[in-house]
Structure formats: C-alpha cells, structure tokens
Structure 1
Amino acid sequence: MAKATKRQTLSVEVIKEKILNFLSKCQEKGAPKSKLPLAKNPSFEKALEELVSKDSILSIYRRYYLKDFAPTLEKTKEKLLSFFERWVKKNRGRKVYQPISELILKKKFNLVAKTSLFTSLDELAEEGHLIRLKVKKVSYYLPLSLLAQEEPKEGSFDPQKIREAYKELVGNGGFLDVSLSKLRRRAGINRKEFQDWILEQSRQGKAHLSAGDYTLISKEEEKEAILLGSKKFYMVRLRDVP
C-alpha cells in the first residue's frame, strides 16, 4: 500500500510539473481544462486542485493561466487602448469613420472572456477614452481622439435648457429616448453647440445615442441627425436628469 501511495504522489507531482510547463508556453492565452496535459490521468484532478489551491495557477472564465499571465481588467483595457491607437493611426484623415462593433471586438479579442471584455469597454467609455453608440441591441465604439472638437464658445449656451427641454419631452411623450431635433428646437440651442454638448455627455456616459425606428424619422429629424462614421443617430437618452 505504501508503494502505491508513493507512486500516486509522484504521479501528481509529475502532472503538476507538466501543467505548469504547458501553461508557461501558453502565456496570456491560457488554456481550457480539456487542453491541459494528462487530463485523462486518474491523478489529474488532484494535481489541478493542488495547483489552484496554492495559487500556482488561476482559473478564470473556464481557462487556466499561470499567475503572472492571468488576465486582469487593467491588462484587457491596455490591450483595447493599444488596438484603438493603432486603428486611429491607420484611419486618421478619412472622411468617414466606421464605428467598431462589439461583434468585431469579440472576434478580435476572442481569447478574452466576454465578461472581462465588455466590462473593460464600459470602463473605457466611462473614463472618456471611447464613445459608445447603440443601434438596436448592438454596441459600437469609436475612440474619442477621432471626435475631438473645439470647446463650444462661451456665450448664451446653457445646458440646463437642454435638460429642462428633455424633461418636458419625456413627460409629454412618456419615452426616455427623445428626438434630437425636437430636443434642440425646444431648448433653443445652436445646432453645433447642441451636438458638441450631446457628444460630450455621451463621452462621459451621461447620454446614450440611438438610431430609433428609421421608418418614423421625419425629414426635419433627418437633417438634425448626429453622424458618427457611416451611421446616423436621431434619438438620445439623458441620464441623471430627474
């Protein structure tokens, strides 16, 4: 019996060493449980359990990583920022910018867990690095460096007029998404100043632009649309407006 126990202990140690060596080669890609070496060995589960319990490896979203290579939100955000920086350099100077859909980002960062990816995108949008747009149920992203505009000139512009107009439109219509055209006209704000402010609120996560139902868009609303990339947005929802 003693010899059998010794053989089993050695087997566990051998498996642990092979798992560690394998994951060191995988680096930041990590690997699912099914791809780890000797996964069918009777001692595999014990070896894996010991490695995880001692924090030698980490299990994150059904993938295993060496501790030094385990993904974090900060690492994911850095990768996303690097990707968007390269994208800006490549596309700078174009007349039309095509927003990047979350579907493309999922394929591009297919080794990053969806939860981590979307949380990182949300934080980058809240921090002002990205602007998030929504068409139906799909989110699109653009780096704010492409949309940098001059600050509105000081004058009669008063954002409180927009907030008050928004409350009136929501109260009258009963919907949180309101027409950009109706909102601007009710607030009595210059178009450029109005759109600059809306984009700034969107950058801060305080406003969400949407396309709405195109079949219901009037000619006047068509003229007042905010164009980002090749997509037009006719509706807006303001947050933090009591």
Structure 2
Amino acid sequence: MSGEYEGLVALVTGGASGIGAAVAAELASRGAQVAALDLDPAGVPDGVLGLKADVTNDESVRQAVDQVIATWGRLDVVVNNAGIGAQGTVSDNSDEQWHQVYDVNVVGAVRVSRAALPHLRKSPAAAIVNVASVAATAGLPQRALYSATKGALQSLTMAMAADHVREGIRVNCVNPGTAETPWVQRLLDSAPDPQAERAALDARQPHGRLVTAQEVALAVAYLGGPNSGSTVGAALAVDGGMAGLRLRPVG
C-alpha cells in the first residue's frame, strides 16, 4: 500500500495532533503530498506541510486551500478531522457553546469541502473523508452537544455523497470509538480518579481498550484512497464493537 497515494495531494484539518497527525503521517507514508491545517501547525509530522488555518473562518480556509494549490497544483483528498468536544446534558451547555461546537465540527467541514470542491472536480481520484464518531450512532451519557454535531456530520456525509458521486467525488466518514488522543487524556487528567476513569473507558468498548489514532488513520487512508473506488456514502466504525455489539456480562 506504500504507493497507493503516489501523485495525489491530500489536505487534513486538525492535522497537528492526535488523529489528524496520525492521518497526515499515514497518507504521506503512502506517497501523498500532504498539507495539515491547524490553528497551531507546529506539531505536524515530518514531511507534511503545516498551514495555519481556522475552520471557523471562511477566508482562512480559502487561503489555506489556495496555498495547497499554489504549492502542488492540485487537490485530490480532503480529510475533515478538525473538531472540539463538549460535555454535559442538554441542560448544561449554553447557546454560545452550541453555536461554537457546531461551527467547528459541522460548519467547519462545510467550509473546507466548499473551498476544495472546484479542485476535487478536476481530480481523477477525488475523495472526502469526514471524521465523525461513535457518538453519532450510540447514546453516550454527558455528550448531548458533541453527539448532536457528530450525528449531523454523519448525515452531512450521506447527503454530500449523493450530491457529488456523479462528479467523481466519493464522500465517506469514519466513526471512531473513544480514542487515545490528547483530548481524551485531558479528560482523564481532570477526572477525580483518572485510573478508574481510564478503566471505565477501556471497558466500555467491547474489545477492552481505547482505539488508537493509528487505527483510525488506517481506516481514513482506506476510505480516501483509490483502492476504495466503490465505497461511497459509508460510515466505517472503528470502535471495538461499541456501536453494534451487545455482549453478555462476564461471569
């Protein structure tokens, strides 16, 4: 698979840490020229072009996409990974927080895709991969706002797939379970008993552990690559069985 992306140009939002950095590194290892867009691109993987961009600002997004085109002359794969979290029930988050999280997690993907579409239409291997979440399909406690945005992103994926498949642009999403990322680590660090919280998160997923960023990156690489040419409008779960399995208790 090392040359699957040879000659292609990919853009990954939120590409300086966590899942985004793992995706950027994986696509580069498969031969792509990769640009990682981030509010702070200092941490992008080696061999990846870091671009400062804010997905909540249309002009910032368009300037970053223009820079990708100026650098490589094309754009083939877009990975909408940038996102922020939120905790609480519907009683706990203010209107301002709802607007903020939707602006990043949903409208951010819209802005990036909208800016990229004219260039993707020229590509022989165009693909968009949205990073949603198991929260789109499984009811998780204390995640009302976050879950709503990820459910919206999965629905957006299906609508975009229908709109653009006949233009030669495949749109899919990946739904990670709870992953070992800096954001999850911050949640653990803030818990009254981080060890107990980590054990609970591990146990919540049927395979008994957190998902790794690399596992998500491999799924994104599959969905975005030419070898998945007949995969359109799919939501690929990388969640250790969390969304679909109902195991009997042990003992």
Structure ranking higher on relative contact order (CA contacts 8 Å, 6+ apart): 2
TM above 0.5, yes or no, is: no
TM-score by length of 1: 0.23
Q: TM-score, normalised to structure 2's length?
A: 0.23
Q: Pick the structure with greater CA Rg.
A: 1
